[in-house]
Chain A
């Protein structure tokens, strides 16, 4: 009994504060957002708090599939913003969403190279050159699926030296100079600043990742949750997201 209680407490602790029972628009709003949204959603949460005095927005950032797993295991959250439709659909199929998810942003791949581009990568085809130490995401995660799709579309046989679990791991290997090039998102290159250089490639348009957002069925604060969704999908949200490198939502 005690152990069970301790486990429940632990779970609740991880997920942050549960929303209070009232639906007055005040209180705590818990948002689960994909890791790539860290900077933009932190800014939007502050903006929302300023617009709604008395409301406290807690954002938990992690990989989309981790967050989806936590939600399906009962973590108390009001809003979920995913980096792909697959994880959102998983929750939809399980009946854990309120209403239809809305697409609010898109993200495309970019080639990140260490400062100075030591391996002289200038195009998507260069990634397949023998001896190039390319790092990508594994196919199981969205950024890897996008890389695999591009590789197939253009018949470029990519043979990465490592297929990482997350896009941040790919970026880390480029920043440290271990990799000659990495396939990451445009937003990652933007947030890495001058620690990496970016090689634009037109082929990237062939694999666009869409970001859906939805209110969760377990939310007891649906009015506030809906208002937060409106902010994210509205003009202010679009502006913040565009600054981070996200593309506009194209349904």
Chain B
């Protein structure tokens, strides 16, 4: 503990580290500034409000919202089971679930193709049910969910682990069955982690490109999301591609600000414990 305190108060950083840190910041910031510098401002508004651009932006927002919802519905149980459950091969499952974080998206697209495609693992069964996934908006949502789910699971599992299970244990000793503990204690506790995880999943969905291109195809209003539209515009109208890129950068900045900016260190101990003192109270009160 004493060591921790001393380190927290110590702010000396060697000068040469500052120099490298500036270079590191430039690696990220310079290309973004280059985009801004290349924007053709005179035509900016017509370019970003053209029919294909608006259609792509609308599709991107709709599909990202849908895949974020799917990530929450599927990711919360998965994170809970991974953080709290005890079963064989748990470690292996965790590693597998996190794979899309490090896989090139195009590999994800190929994997999805051979799962849900016509000739895929589930393709035959889906065809019998009259479902055709490839070339549909559903395929876009599936591709986005595939790449975004690990983001939600990781941030949620982290929140669950740092939070510990003391309050749940107390609620259980007071007689609350697991489903009540989940609804009245666990869920309110993980809400901040869930919110930042959901924002990250949304952002990742919005940027999805490789898996969508490989698996879903590209058709205006159906599968051509904003990143695909940018990639296509680049062929004939680089100015429009730059303008649309700036729109995505702006959305990304807003998303990052939402996830990390406002709840200054939303996942720091102070805030989590602040939530914690209020959350378990009603749960405890309700348990006879």
In the complex, whether A190 has a CB less than 8 A from a CB of chain B is no
Q: Is the CB of B119 within 8 A of A165?
A: no
Q: Is the CB of B218 within 8 A of A165?
A: yes
Q: Is the CB of B135 within 8 A of A138?
A: no
Q: Is the CB of B235 within 8 A of A160?
A: no
Closest A residue to B236 using CB positions: A140
Which size class do B's interface residues fall under?
A: 20 to 34
In the complex, whether B234 has a CB less than 8 A from a CB of chain A is yes
Complex partner residue of B119 from A6, A161, A172, A176, CB under 8 angstroms = A176
In the complex, whether A173 has a CB less than 8 A from a CB of chain B is yes
Q: Is the CB of B135 within 8 A of A177?
A: no
Q: How far is the CA of A162 from the CA of B140 in the complex (A)?
A: 13
Given A65-B234, A140-B232, decide whether A164 and B217 contact each other with a Cβ distance below 8 A. yes
How many contacting A-B pairs (Cβ < 8 A)? 62
- Chain A residue total in the interface (Cβ 8 A): 24
The digit string for B230-249, where 1 denotes a CB below 8 A from any CB of A, is 01111110100000000000
Closest A residue to B114 using CB positions: A176
In the complex, whether A130 has a CB less than 8 A from a CB of chain B is no
In the complex, whether A135 has a CB less than 8 A from a CB of chain B is yes
Chain A contact residues: helix, strand, loop or mixed? mixed
Q: How far is the CA of A6 from the CA of B27 in the complex (A)?
A: 9
Complex partner residue of A135 from B30, B217, B220, CB under 8 angstroms = B217
* A1-17 at interface with B (beta carbon < 8 Å): 2-3, 6-7
A163 to chain B, nearest CB (A): 6
Q: How far is the CA of A7 from the CA of B28 in the complex (A)?
A: 12
Q: How far is the CA of A7 from the CA of B23 in the complex (A)?
A: 12
Q: Is the CB of A169 within 8 A of B213?
A: yes
Q: How far is the CA of A247 from the CA of B250 in the complex (A)?
A: 47
The digit string for A139-174, where 1 denotes a CB below 8 A from any CB of B, is 011000000000000000000111111000100110
Closest B residue to A142 using CB positions: B235
Complex partner residue of A3 from B27, B119, B223, CB under 8 angstroms = B27
Q: Point out residues on A near B: beta carbons under 8 Å.
A: 2-3, 6-7, 63, 65, 69, 133, 135, 138, 140-141, 160-165, 169, 172-173, 176-178
